Structure 1
Amino acid sequence: MRISSLTGLRGVAAVSVLLYHIPHNPAFAAFAMPIFSRAYLAVDLFFILSGFVISLGYHERVMGRPGWASYVDFLINRMARVWPLHLIVTLVFMGRILLNVSGNQAIDLDAPNVVSNLLMVQSWGWGTEPIAGNSWSVSTEVAAYLLYPLIALIAFSRWAWVQGIAAVALLAMVAASGLGSSGPLDVNDSDTVLTLLRCLAGFSLGVLAYRVADRRWCRALIDRPGGFAAVCALIGVALWLPGKVDLLVVCLMPALVLSCYYDGPAARAAMSNPVSFHLGLISYSIYLWHPLVRDVVARVMTMAHGRGITGMDGLFVVAMLVATWLLCWASYALVELRGHRLVKWLQRRAQRRLDVREATI
C-alpha cells in the first residue's frame, strides 16, 4: 500500500539531506543555506517514516500471523528493498577509495570494515565504519527490521506509553551525549551504540504513530482543515528557535507523518505533486549516491580553478544537482527495482525447491 503524500515526504527529506551536505565539501562551503542547517534531522524523519510505513505494510502480516515463516518473509522483503542498492553503492565507494577518485581516502578497507558493510551491520556500535558514508543509517534500520516484532508487540500493548517515554528518553540521551557534529542529535559515530539507539527510538515513534493513526482523537486533532499547515508551522518555528531544540523537532515529526497519512488537500498539494512524488520514489538512491556526486564534481571544479576557470561555481552546483537526479533515476530503475525482483525471484525459487523436497519425503 503506497500513500503518495508519504512517498513525497520521503523525497523532500532526501533532498533536504542533499542540500545540507553540499557545503560539507570545502569546495562548496560558500553554498551553505541556513534554512537547511538542521536538515540532519531529516534522517530522524526517515526513521519515523520507516517505522510507520513498515507497520502500514507489514503489521498484519507479521503480527497477525506470528511465526518464523512470516518473520523470514518480512526480512527478505525488507532486504530486497535495501540491500541491492546498498551493495552496489558500497562497491562503488570501495572503488572510489582505491582509486582516490575524489581526493579523499579516509576509510581503511580492512576485513572488519568490508565484511560488516557487505552484511549491513557496520554501524551497530562496534567500531566498523560505513564505506559509503550515509549508509550508517541504513545499517541501523536493518537492526530495527530485525527487532520489529518486539517493537510492534510493545507498541500495540498496554505498555505502549512506556515505549513512547523510553523512545523520547533515548533521544534525549543521544542529544545530551555531546557527540553530535552539527547539532545535539547529529550522532552517527561508528564506535558508539548511541547511533543505533537514535534509529531505534525514531523507528519506535513511527510504529507508535501507526498505532494511534486511526484513533478518533488523533484524527480529530490532525486530520482537519489546516492540520497539515499547522504541523509544518510548528516544526518550522521549532527549527527557527535558537538553542538545542533537536528533540522538540523530532517529537513533532510523528504528527507530520500522520498528517501526510491522512492525505488531506494541503498534504497532497505539497507532497503528492509529480515532483515530490518522483523524488520520493528515488529518495533512497538520492540519499546514498549524492555524497559521491558532490565530491567528484567538487574535484572537477577544483581542477578547473587550477586552470584559471573561475566564476562558474554556481553552474557546477547546478550540474551536480542534475547529475545526481539522472544517476538516481537510473539507479532506481536499474538497481532498486531490478534488485528487488531478483531477490524475490530467488526467494520463490528456493521455496519451490523446498516444497518439492518436502513432497518427496
Structure 2
Amino acid sequence: MNATSTATSTTAIAPAKSHYVLLDGLRGVASLMVVIFHTLEAYAGGNPIKQIINHGYLAVDFFFLLSGFVIAYAYDDRWSRMTQWEFYKRRLIRLQPMVIMGSLIGAALFYFQQGPVFPLVATTPVWKMLLVMLLGCTLLPLPVSLDIRGWQEMHPLDGPAWSLFFEYIGNILYAVGFRKMSNRVLTVFVLLAAGFLVQLAVFGPRGDMIGGWALDATQLHIGFARLLFPFFAGILLMRLGKRIQIKGAFAICSLLLIVALSLPRFGGTQHHWMNGLYEALCIIVLFPIIVAIGAGEKRADGLSIRIARFFGDLSYPLYITHYPLIYIYTAWVIQKRIPPAQGAIWGALLLVVAVSIAYACLKLYDEPVRRWLSRRFLTRAA
C-alpha cells in the first residue's frame, strides 16, 4: 500500500490516512477506456454486436466496486467521531463540483450537436436547455418530459452523470445502515445482489449490463443491478482484508482490465446468455481479483506510482466531462458517414482534447474549489 496525503486526493480518504495509489491509477485506466469506447460507439449503429470495444460500459461497474472499497476504507472507522451529515458533506465536496462542471460544459456545447441524430436539439428553446443545465447541476434525475436530446437520458447534457446518481444512492445506503452490518450479514446481502445481477445479465432479454441512464422502470432495474453488487462487494472486500501480492501489479491489473473491456461480444444474436455470463463473471469474479491485486501492492516502483497518481487524479474529471464531445463526434460520424479510418484520426484528437479539458478542470477548478469548500464546511474534529 502506497501513501499519499494530498488534500485534493481523488479518493474519499482523509489527508491523514494513506490510500491505495494503484487503485486510483486503475480508475484512470478505466476512464480512458470509457472515452475510447464511447468514441468508437459511433460506428456501431446502436448494435452492441458491432461494438469495436465491446464491453467498455463495464468500466462503470468497476468504478462502483472501487468506490465501495474506498468508502469502507476511508469511513468505516470514523463514525464514532463523524455524523451522517458530515459524511454527506464530504461526499458532496468530493463529487459535486465536477458534476456542476460537466453540466456547464454540456450546456456550452449543446447546440453544436444539432442534426438528424439528435432531432430535439434544434427545437429546444434556450430557457429549457438552461433549466436542464441547472437541474443537472443538482444531479436530480430528469423525467422523459425534460428530454432535450431524444435519448431519454436522466441527464441529457452529460449522459454519464447517471452513474453518479447511483453512486450517491450507494453512499446514502452505506451511511443510513449498511455501515452497521456485520460481515456475515453483508456477505448474505452481497450474494443476493450477485443473484440479482446474474438474473439481469444471463436471463435478461439483452444478455448484457448496458443501461441505467433513464428514469423508467426498466432502466432503474438495470441501474440498481449494476450498483448493488459491486458497490457493497467492494465494501466487503475491504473489510475481509483479502489482498493478492504480485510484482508489477499496476501493469498486470491494467492489462487485465483493458482485455476484459475490449473482448468481442459472446454468443452472437442467438445466445445472449453467453455474453451475459461473461459480463457477470467479470463483475463478480474478475473485477474483485483486480482490486485485490491493486490493493495488495506494497512496493511499486516510482514510475508506476507516478503514472498511477496521474491517471487517478485525471479519472473522475475525464469521466464526467468527456461526453459532450462524444455527442458532437457521434453526430458528425453518423450524419457525414465518416469511415473508421478517417474517424480514428479525429477520435484520437478527441481523446487529447478530452484529457486536456479534464486536466484543466482538475487543476484550475476542481482542486481549488474542493480545498475552499473543505476549509469552509468541514470541521477539524471529523
TM category (shorter chain) comes to: 0.7 to 0.9
Aligned to 2:155: 130
**How many residue pairs align between the two structures?**
330
> 1:132-158: per-residue Cα shift (whole Å, max 9, x none)?
10110011101111111322222x343
Residues of 1 paired with 2:247 and 2:105: CA distance?
47
Which position in structure 1 is the counterpart of 2:294? 260
Please state if 1:171 is matched with 2:197: yes
**Counterpart in the other structure of 2:245:** 223
Instruction: Give the superposition deviation at 1:119.
Output: 2.7
- Larger Rg computed on CA atoms: 1
Give the Å deviation of 1:292. 1.8
Greater helix proportion: 1
RMSD between aligned alpha carbons? 4.1
The partner residue of 1:321 within 351, 355, 360 is: 351
Confirm whether residue 293 of structure 1 aligns to residue 318 of structure 2: no
- 1:2 Cα shift? 2.6
Summarize deviations over 1:211-243 as a string: whole Å, max 9, x none: 112xxxx34xx2356988599669957957832
Equivalent residue number for residue 138 of structure 2: 119
Decide which moves more: 12-21 or 238-247.
Answer: 238-247
* Percent identity (aligned): 22
Is contact 1:85-1:339 (8 Å) kept?
Answer: no
Comparing 289-298 and 53-62, the one that deviates more: 289-298
Contact 2:35-2:351 within 8 A present in 1 as well: no
Distance change in 2, residues 1:119/1:18 (3 Å): same
Deviation per residue, 1:70-97 (Å, 9 max, x gap):
2111111111111111012113323433
Aligned to 2:269: none
Matches within 5 A, 1:49-128: 49-62=66-79, 65=80, 69-97=82-110, 99-101=111-113, 103=115, 104=118, 109=128, 117-122=136-141
Structure 1, unmatched stretches of 5+, are 353-361
Query: Which residue is 1:159 aligned to?
Result: 185
Change (3 A) 1:235 1:174: farther
Partner of 1:355: none
Post-superposition offset of 1:48: 0.3
Question: Which letter maps to 2:33?
Answer: S
1:247 equivalent to 2:280? Answer: yes
Work out the CA distance in 1 between the residues paired with 2:76 and 2:373.
22
Opposite residue 246 of structure 1, the aligned amino acid is: E
Which residue number corresponds to residue 335 of structure 1?
Answer: 365
Normalization by structure 2: what TM-score? 0.72
Q: Contact between 2:29 and 2:311, CA under 8 Å: does it hold in 1?
A: yes
How far apart in 1 are the matches of 2:227 and 2:373? 25
| Alpha-carbon offset, residue 298 of structure 1 | 5.8
Normalised to the residue count of structure 1, the TM-score between the two structures is 0.76
1:257 deviation in Å?
0.7
Residue pair 1:17, 1:287 contacting (<8 A) in 2 also: yes
8 Å CA contact 1:123–1:140 kept in 2: the answer is no
Which of 18, 23, 31 is the matching residue for 1:14?
31
Equivalent pair of 1:123/1:130 in contact (CA under 8 Å):
yes
**Does residue 1:146 correspond to 2:168, yes or no?**
no
1:22 shift after superposition: 0.8
Specify the alignment match of 2:3 in structure 1.
none
